[in-house]
Structure formats: C-alpha cells, structure tokens
C-alpha cells in the first residue's frame, strides 16, 4: 500500500511568484518569508515523496460564480498553469497521478462526498506557487492530485466537513495499491481580507493558535462555524479550510500523532499573514 509520509502547508499569494521571477528572495521585504522554506526543501529532499495531493481553492479559473462545486478532484494526466498574469510568467504543466485520482474519487463517493470529477483542469498560483517554493530548481519531481475546496462563494463547507474530507482522503491514500510515497499539501491563508471595510485585516493571535493546534489538537478549529472563521480570519482567511483538510488526512491510520518538522509565520506579505508548515507522520 502507499505510504502517507506527511503534510505541508503554505500561503500562495500571487505576489510571491512575481518575487521569484524578479529574484527578490533576499530583499528585506521578502527575506523573512523565503527563509522559512530551506528546512522544508531539505525534508523533501530526504523523504522524496512521489506524489502530492494538493488541497487548494480555485480563483475563478475552472469554476466561476455561476457554477461553484463544494469539492472537486482532478483526474487529468496533466494540469496546465493558466494564472491571471501576476505570478511567474511561464511554468511547466503539473503531471497528474491519474490512478490515485480515480482511487480518491471512488473512495470519496463511497463515503458520501459528492465530488465533481475533472478529467480536464487548469491550475493557477494556488497549485503552482507552493510547488515552486518547495522545489525552486528545475522541474517538479512529483506527480499531483488537485483537490479543490470552495472558499469563494457561500455556502462554504464547514471546518468540520473539510476535516472529515481530509480524513477520507488520508484513508484513501493509505489504501491505494501502490508502493509510492505521498505527501498532502494545503495551499492558502492564513488570515487576510482583500476587500471591504476590513481590507488588510490580520489576526496574528488566532493564526498562531491555529498553527499550534495542528500539532496536538487538530480538531480545535472545527468548533467554529464558517461565519465565525470569517470574523476571526477575514473573508479570504477561510483558506485555512485547506490546512484543516491536510491535517485531517494525517489523522488516519491508527492515530493523529505527527511531528512538526519546521514552521514559519510572517506578517504581512501583500496584506496577508503568511505561514509555512511541515508535519511528518509518526
């Protein structure tokens, strides 16, 4: 069976891609953010996952306001980057892990998650930027399965439901008939709001409490409704739902114990609280 080796989380702000493209990683504004990634890169180099399952939110590329699935899973042989133009100008397509995609889809539907199956899917900075941050040199050495969670248009799935989705994904990964090593990745957040009267809102205290909870009390954030999470983290801060799904995936296989490999929290980058986290399964 496949081995689920750990989980990663990172912010996916489009301006990060612009900084990478212009080589600004050591500039004072950017250095505290980029300094969080070498330990993750070292861990990935040591563990060498073959596949990454990416929990992310689509930004109007595949799904717009007229058709917004709650959960969607990619089942394509490749995923072409087609971002809105504020990131890295040219990126190679992501290679899909089709066999795992269909295994996840079948297992999720069997567990009564009504997912949308996407045999064609474009990706934006929410998928491409994390991989470029983790693998800054050359092509990505992993195949991917994108799992899209709606954080754009209400009604949104609850924190409890996203955690349960993650657990179902983790169970499916561990039952996949393969010798490959799999990591799960959460892309998004943390607290931020890009519009309205609270534009620029950041809640450092909540962010740090949330990050701490992912070690030993991963269901802590599931006590909050979506509207409470918006109040505490900002309209776009609900992207932490991806982090909950990632952590849920690790809470399978006989327990929820994980080891924190590294983490970094920095504010602000483009009006957003940014974080990176690596957790290894115990």
CA distance 98 to 108: 15
pLDDT for residue 255: 53
Q: What is the pLDDT of residue 87?
A: 66
DSSP per-residue codes, 190-255: SSB--SSTTTT---HHHHHHHHHHHHH-TTGGGGS-HHHHHHHH-TGGGGHHHHHHHHHHHS-SS-
The catalytically annotated residue of 21, 59, 103, 192 is 192
Q: What percent of the chain has pLDDT over 90?
A: 79
pLDDT at 252 over 80: no
Average pLDDT for 66-71: 93
The pLDDT of residue 8 is above 80: yes
Catalytic site includes residue 192: yes
- Asked if the model's pLDDT at residue 194 lies above 90, the reply is no
Helices (H) and strands (E) in the chain, counts: 9, 10
pLDDT digits (tens, 9 = 90+) for 12-55: 998 898 899 899 999 999 999 999 999 999 999 999 999 999 99
Of the residues 12, 103, 125, 266, only one is catalytic, namely: 125
**88 falls in which pLDDT band (50, 70, 90)?**
confident
266 in active site = no
pLDDT of 85 reads 59
| Position 256 pLDDT exceeds 90 | no
Extract the tokens encoding 146: 């994108």
Q: What is the pLDDT of residue 170?
A: 97
Asked if residue 253 has pLDDT above 80, the reply is no
pLDDT above 60 for 220:
yes
pLDDT of residue 91: 79
Checking if the pLDDT of 254 tops 60, the result is no
- What local confidence, expressed as pLDDT, does residue 30 receive? 96
List pLDDT tens digits, range 147-185: 999 999 999 999 999 999 999 999 999 999 999 999 999
Per-residue pLDDT tens over the stretch 130-140? 999 999 988 89
**Whole-number pLDDT of residue 84:** 63
164 compared with 59, residue with greater pLDDT = 164
* Reported confidence tier of residue 199, pLDDT bands at 50, 70, 90: confident
Q: Specify the DSSP element, H or E, that contains 4.
A: strand 3-10
Q: Please tell me the predicted confidence (pLDDT) of residue 197.
A: 87
pLDDT bucket at 222, cuts 50 / 70 / 90 = very high
Q: At the fourth CATH level, which superfamily is domain 3-281?
A: LigB-like (3.40.830.10)
Q: How many residues does the chain have?
A: 282
- pLDDT of residue 263 exceeding 80, the answer is yes
d(CA 173, CA 179): 11
Average pLDDT, the chain: 93
């Amino acid at each position: 069976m496949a081995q689920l080796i750990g989980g990663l989380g990172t912010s996916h702000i489009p301006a990060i891609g612009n900084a990478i493209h212009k080589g600004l990683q050591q500039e004072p504004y950017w250095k505290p953010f980029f300094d969080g990634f070498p330990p993750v890169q070292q861990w990935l180099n040591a563990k060498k996952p073959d596949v990454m399952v990416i929990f992310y939110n689509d930004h109007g590329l595949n799904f717009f306001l007229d058709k917004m699935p709650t959960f969607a899973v990619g089942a394509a042989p490749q995923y072409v980057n087609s971002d809105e133009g504020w990131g890295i100008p040219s990126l190679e397509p992501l290679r899909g892990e089709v066999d795992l995609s269909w295994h996840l889809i079948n297992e999720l539907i069997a567990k009564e998650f009504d997912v949308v199956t996407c045999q064609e899917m474009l990706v934006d900075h929410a998928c491409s930027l994390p991989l470029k941050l983790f693998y800054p040199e050359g092509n990505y050495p992993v195949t991917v399965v994108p799992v899209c969670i709606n954080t754009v248009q209400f009604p949104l799935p609850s924190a409890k439901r996203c955690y349960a989705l993650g657990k179902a994904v983790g169970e499916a990964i561990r039952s996949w008939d393969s010798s490959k090593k799999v990591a799960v990745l959460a892309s998004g957040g943390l607290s931020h709001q890009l519009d309205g009267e609270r534009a620029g809102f950041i809640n450092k205290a909540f962010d740090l409490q949330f990050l701490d909870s992912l070690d030993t009390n991963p269901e802590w954030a599931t006590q909050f409704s979506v509207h409470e999470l918006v109040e505490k983290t900002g309209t776009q801060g609900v992207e932490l739902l991806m982090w909950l799904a990632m952590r849920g995936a690790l809470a399978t296989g006989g327990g929820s114990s994980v080891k924190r490999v590294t983490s970094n929290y920095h504010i602000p980058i483009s009006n957003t609280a940014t974080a990176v986290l690596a957790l290894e399964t115990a």
